[in-house]
A and B are shown apart, each in its own frame.
Chain A
Amino acid sequence: MTTFTELLLNGLSMGSVYALIALGFVVIFRATEVVNFAHASLLLAGGYITASLHDDLGFWPALLVGIAGAAVVGAAVEFLVMRRYRGTDHSVLAIVTIGVDILLTTELTRRLGTDVLPLGDPWGDDVLTVGPISLAHTRIAAFAAAALLITVFLLAFRYTSWGVAMRAAAESPETAALMGVRLGRVSLGAWAVAGALAAVAALFLTVFPTPGLERATSLAALKAFPAAILGGLDSTTGALVGGLVVGVTESLATGYQSELTFLGRGLGDLAPYLVMTVILLIRPAGLFGTKELARV
């Protein structure tokens, strides 16, 4: 039972970090209907900026610069690339983001080289112990930060003019444009928000118990794909639930791999995708996604 609780808590905490990344996907998808495969590089960019500045600025200012930096990178991708596309095929745009990702990731990994960079966070390797259960402070911080950010985001989405514009654009871009919503600004904002969320996620992916930021850190974004999809690509609630499902699945599949040997060992990576496939078989638009309505 102790092990189960520990695995569950760790899974929820990792899941909340995945939810932050998945939320970024969903925001971009809602605003522009593009699946952003360049998310991994936004994450790496945010982490890299934080890691290279924390010595000079201190951790918190460095983190703020990192978040802002990733937001700028996101906005720049939108402004310089996505906006210039004249066609309408969204799978072509998705492939363009793959090109962007290759460019950014190559540059960042070249800069990172073979280093493992600590981000200088204040939590260190402290651990909270309640009875037989121990949980790293970083994990609690991750959960708290993710919960806070997601709440703020959902409130902003509902009540601010930006949120209204964004929802209107997702509902019907033409009507929204006629009502005075600037679509360009909405999609620019979406990319910036996604970048910022990814930078926060980068922080929690590289703190203890992980040694630091390195070239493979960006691969965590791959776990946010099933999270975003199984929740429903156009649903913010879906991203949240999807993230948690993926985190818990991964943690349990790893922790209980000895009991699951008939499936082969090393299931942690695979399990989220299996869960996703099953969910998609039952609900092709994900748990909370909008079912397709067809008008001709």
Chain B
Amino acid sequence: MNALTRATAATTALAALLALSACSSKAKDGDDDGRTAGGVKTGEGISGKTINLGVLTDMTGVYATLGKSVTQAQQLYVDKTNKDGGICGHKLKLTVRDHGYDPQKAVAAYTELEPKVLGFAQFIGSPFVAAVKQRIDADKALVLPQAWSANLLGSPYVRVIGSTYDLETINAIDFLMKEKGLKKGDKLGHVYFEGDYGESALKGSEYMAEEAGLTVVEQKIKPTDNDMTAQVSALKKAGVKAVVISAGPRQAASLVGVAAAGRFDVPVIGNNSAFAPQLLATQSGPALQKNYYVASPTLPIGAETAAAEKLVADYKKAHPKDSLDNGVVAGWTAASVFGEALKKACEDKDLTRDGVDKALLTLDGFDSGFGVTQDFTDPKAPSSKESVILQPDKKATGGMKVVREPQAAKAAQGYSADQSPSGD
């Protein structure tokens, strides 16, 4: 190919390009925001009589268990709401994207759904929320992450529901000190996941150690570590009097099992992600029921409240084969928070993204029926500082019973997530 042909080709290309772009559908042709239907202002994410909500979940990756329960519970909420006539005369519709805990897929899914939805009722994976945080702040679509990291606080568009991991850990240690004989001067073991979840929880135990005069013995693990023998040996050697575990259910089961088998008889408490009812059927089942506790932002699925019993019945009917775990509660709570914000926005005649964000900021006493009141007026704080302490119990629905009602430790009330500048 000679230079002349090249030049001709280039010129033709450029000409064609300009001609084509003239009829691009992306070209700006006036502002279509601020439509009004029936006196209610609507905007992005609402098509006809449907409110579209996005769900960015993980059903094939490391958080598959959580993702499945949360999504099914949210779908249940949507179906129920639609059956009752919808919100503001609109039906709700969830669009689900499974990112399999892959950052590229998560970011792609956000990009795909963002222009089509009013907000996101679920977003699993706090690193991915962080990855699109700048864009969330620009897009102003409300995002309810299924992650309880203090790093996510601070934006009016990303709202964490319930206490964050650091606060939960403070409450957990408070429980150990008040009811399990942990006292000033003792050593406390903390086994935690590498990453946001574990490190956020560690901040809580470090804070509590300072407040209460404890020494923390750290053991960092990876999600792929399933055998906690070496960790237990190390904690035993250090002479810890109690252990906090901020990891997955399998690690908790292994830790508790090994400790019990080695007659290392100390109480172990985990964050809400460190338990799954399936574990009660494994070798570690008996040990878990004896020596293991879980701190949770809400009452368990098996709570004796009307809302919980109704949810259990509905969920069992819709998904008879799936286990009832705390993901169901978390999903239901998040969906109803979104629903509540929509109802409020409807009252204010503003169903735009701005309107929903503002509506959520006025919710100061919301209770989804799981014992904890959520206050969304301050974007810098989680919606609650309380935690419930649960104990595994084979007989209870969802495998957990309450041993301490929702409360916030004194230390938790004085604590504010020391916002590291990297968070925003």
Chain A residues packing against B (C-beta within 8 Å)? 2-3, 6-7, 10, 14, 109-110, 113-116, 118, 124-127, 129, 134, 136, 139, 205, 207-212, 214-217, 219, 250-251, 254-258, 265-266, 268-269
Contact = CB atoms under 8 A, between A and B. Distances in A.
Contacts of B229: 10, 136, 139, 209, 251
Contact of B283 (A208, A215, A269): A208
B283 A251 contact: no
A3 B282 CA distance: 27
By Cβ-Cβ distance, the 6 closest A-B pairs, closest first, are: A265-B220, A254-B230, A266-B220, A114-B65, A211-B253, A3-B237
A10 B233 CA distance: 10
Given A114-B68, A118-B282, A255 B230 contact: yes
B231 to A, nearest CB: 7
B411 interface: no
Interface in B275-320: 276, 278-279, 281-284, 287
Contacts of A256: 234
A257 to B, nearest CB: 7
Contacts of B253: 211
Interface stretch (B105-113, B206-214, B257-265, B395-403): B257-265
Given A209-B254, A211-B254, A255-B234, A118 B226 contact: no
A127 to B, nearest CB: 4
B236 to A, nearest CB: 7
B82 interface: no
Given A125-B284, A209-B258, A210-B250, A116 B279 contact: yes
B226 A211 contact: yes
Interface residues of B, number: 44
Interface of B: 60, 62, 64-65, 68, 194, 217-231, 233-234, 236-238, 249-250, 253-254, 257-258, 260-263, 276, 278-279, 281-284, 287
Given A126-B261, A268-B222, A211 B279 contact: yes
Contacts, number: 121
A265 B261 contact: no
Contacts of B281: 118
Contact of A118 (B230, B238, B258, B283): B283
B224 A214 contact: no
Contacts of B230: 7, 10, 250-251, 254-255, 268
8 contacts: A3-B234, A115-B278, A116-B276, A134-B263, A208-B283, A210-B250, A217-B226, A255-B237
B283 A124 contact: yes
B261 A208 contact: yes
A211 to B, nearest CB: 4
B222 A266 contact: yes
B233 A125 contact: no
